[in-house]
Amino acid sequence: MAYNRYHPDSDDDEPLNPNLLPGPTPGQRNTAGNDGDWGSALTQDLYFSRLKDTVEELAGITPSLDPATGLTRLALISRLRSMIDASESVLMADSFEYLCRAEAAVRSDNARIDEPGALTKEEALAQGMSEADWLTNVSEFFYRINTDDANTARTSFVAEAALATRETTSHTFSRLAEAETLRHLLPNTLDALASGIITSKAASNIVKYTRGLDEQDMARMEHQLLPAAKAHITDTAIAQRARRLREKLHPTSLEERHRKSAKDRKVSYWAEKNGMAAILMRGPAPDLIAVMNTLNHHLKDLSTLEKEQPADARRTADQLRFDSLRDALIDGWPAGGGSTLHTKVAVTIPAIELLADKKKGLAELEGYGPIPMGVALKLAADAPSMLRVLTDPWTGAVIDVERSKYRPPQAMRDLLRYRDQCCQFPGCNRSPEHSEADHIDDWAKGGSTNRKNMKLLCKQHQMFKHALGWNYRYTPDGAATWYSPMGQTCVEVPGSVMSIQNFDCVASKTPERPRMEITRHLQWLLGIDDEDRIDGPNLYFVGE
């Protein structure tokens, strides 16, 4: 059986690897600044002055109910969108180029430790190195990075650009690689985009299908595809032309590319609305077709059994496929004949929600988000153990955890897990399983181990903090204020916070929240005994 459905992102959609771009390496490429004031003025006129002219033209059109006028303005907006994307590409590519040059110049003048342990702290200080520089060099060795390397500079720059554009780091990484390709390897495509005569999607397709080729073949593809893009041929048609042309020019056979692509097989997960989620498998077509054929084989037998069910209880073919796959992976397939895989599912049920209408209450499923209270209570009924978590009743933020069952280090890890819920670097959502407790004020510099000085950070972003010049501070409302090496500021709110009305995402201090009255009934519901209750500045007990 043939399967012709394609996931919208599955068509040769692997991210562009900037290390495979031909030509000079970062820090040695041409930019407008290479030609002095003349080159800078030309860049300003080509990529930015036209933006102003187009905006003024758009604003100068008299509003009317005439559909022809509306279409004219739509066409101008399309041109403007292309121009903005071209300008963004120039800014990203040139800014990264300037950063690589600056890093190379600064590092060539700074002392570095050539081998781990080559200098003790005392020896480094005696040679004029500051304690901060010595700790940074030690961190570089610990994380096995070289700050002279362009890939290290790229990683930090992408994080900064993601803050500036409010995009994810993965999207920004791909966007930078595309910008470098347009700026340094496909100048004619960039000029056409800056003029507004091709769409951003057409430019992306030209970049996408030229990757992996040498400079000469990239120029050939651009020469053949650009006229089609200018001729208002649809983006889909351009992609089809590019795919055919790429097969002719690609230096590697399709068989070799298939063998290499098979190494990138993966399973992806993402959350969807209404308590649903999705899993995508990407791998060799024969394997996945075999999976579908197996499901369809069992579908025939199950469909026969379904006919015996009442009409309103019969499952559809898609439902039967899902149930079969789910049963095979979780319960063992066939039922009772396979080994059952037991997995841990963590559910947070706020006690305050239990006081309200259970039909409208929400609980939190770790790794997904809000689920109906009824579903959560059903999961909790079979839970082998429970852990009490105290949350702020106004924001939902986790402020402490039960400590009677665990020694403090375990209690601290529980607190971070349920309070932060993921890595606390801006834009990162790595789970607690892939993150570690990090001291905001470094332990080596006298930082203490307490909830106000601890946050979850993944390995990569611990490296950002200790070796690449990123820093953050704890704010009174529980958030973390991040400071990038180039001076950007971003406030990261803990994942457990449901309401951010009381959070000040600009200032370093926020107004004190209202005090919470703890009645005896609520104290009993929260499971707080007189001996081990958790006191706080915003909590007071009635009758005391």
Q: Distance from CA of residue 369 to its chain's centroid?
A: 17
- Identify residue 344 by its one-letter amino acid code: K
Q: What is the largest CA-CA distance in the chain?
A: 86
Q: Which residue type sits at 71?
A: L
Sequence spans of domains, the chain: 19-184, 198-256, 284-343, 387-513
- Given 3-state DSSP classes, what are the helix, strand and coil percentages for the chain, each rounded to the nearest 5? 50, 10, 40
Separation of CA 468 from chain center: 19
Looking at residue 403, its pLDDT comes to 47
pLDDT of residue 68: 82
Interior CA angle at 331 toward 326 and 333, to 5°?
Answer: 80
Label residue 529 left, alpha or beta by phi (over 0 means left) and psi (-120 to 50 means alpha): beta
pLDDT of residue 419: 82
Quickly count: other Cβ atoms within 10 Å of residue 425's Cβ: 27
Asked if 493 contacts 472 with a C-beta cutoff of 8 angstroms, the reply is no
Question: In the chain, which residues have pLDDT < 50?
Answer: 1-13, 111, 113, 116, 336-342, 403-408, 507-514, 532, 534, 537-544
Residues 269-311: pLDDT tens digits? 888 888 889 999 998 877 887 788 888 888 877 877 777 778 7
CA-closest candidate to residue 115, choices 91, 87, 93, 146: 146
pTM over 0.85: no
Long-range contact set of residues 480-483: C-beta below 8 Å, sequence gap at least 24: 480/424, 480/440, 480/455, 481/508, 482/425, 482/426
270 residue type, one letter:
W
Output DSSP code: residue 394. T
- Cβ neighbors of 148 (< 8 A, separation 6 or more) are 103, 104, 107
Q: Rounded to whole angstroms, how far apart are CA atoms 417 and 435? A: 9
Q: Are 458 and 423 in contact (CB under 8 A)?
A: yes
